[in-house]
Amino acid sequence: MADTRVELCGITLDNPVIPASGTFGYGREFAELYDINCLGTFSFKGTTLEPRFGNETPRIAECPSGMLNSVGLQNPGVDAVISEELPELRKLFSKPVMANVSGFSADEYCEVTRRLAESDVSEMIGWYEINISCPNVHGGGMSFGTDPCMAGEVVRAVRKVTDKPLIIKLSPNVTDIAGIAKACEAEGADGVSLINTLMGMRFDLRTKKPILANVTGGLSGPAVLPVALRMVYQTACAVDIPVVGMGGVSSAEDVLEMMMAGAAAVEVGAANLRDPFASKKIIDALTAAMEKYGIDKLSEI
């Protein structure tokens, strides 16, 4: 029998499949469709200090082999997540969950993490995934994830408020993503996850204007898989901490490729929006894919 177990920052997962933040809500909607305990874990919706409505609509645009989104971190805010979302999730999910933290300053990342860490639902959280693709409001709007110094600043600050594993979610919209990963590792990150979306845009030929109200958005879906594999490989070669791979994953074979590139676990994003059963289907197909390619243990590849 093929062994699908993997280890992520000292925590064993039944399988490496993790629905990515922003594509799985806080779990409740998907729990109405299937038993989400079949997942390795999932990364809940990017959570900020204050509630956010997000960007103006339209904020989704289809494109060949993928989609553009500019949702803008819509979420109810950390206090509502603590008081409403996680207590409900506790009834449905028996595994550690990955808490995705977003912010617009180092102080905000720290405060969101601190509130989660000091809450009465903190035992539910296995990892903090810190999304440094957010724009730094104190740094002229530049994303934290595009500068090694700013990335390191966030890691250094958040490291002080929790002892649990910190996984830093990296932006691919950089020249040297491995260099950003190394800066995060040097400041105490326990892992990195990549890639986030690639910046893109589309036009409506009838109106002759950009389709997205925000003009640009993040490209995800199968189109980005080769780019994601390359960046995961480069990063895994550069750091000694685990890499969580994502970007265009939509099949069990894609999971195997990601792991061959160096990923310890694999997040599934846009595929969940196209088919809410996507992650379950990937898990169901994983053993057969391993047997087809002569893989006995995922941890060995």
Tell me, yes or no, if 134 is annotated catalytic.
yes
Residue type at 98 in one-letter notation: M
| Helices within the chain (DSSP H only) | 28-31, 78-80, 86-90, 106-117, 148-159, 177-186, 225-238, 252-260, 270-274, 278-292
Q: Which tokens go with 23?
A: 């594509």
Minimal CA–CA distance to 184: which of 141, 126, 242, 228? Answer: 242
Query: What single string gives the DSSP state of each residue in 42-105?
Result: -BPPPB-SS-B--SPSP-EEEETTEEEE-----B--HHHIIIIIHHHHHTT--S-EEEEE--SS
For residues 172 and 168, what is the distance between their CA atoms, to the nearest angstrom?
13
Longest dimension (CA), the chain: 56
Task: Single out the catalytic residue among 134, 149, 184, 237.
Answer: 134
Catalytic residue list: 134
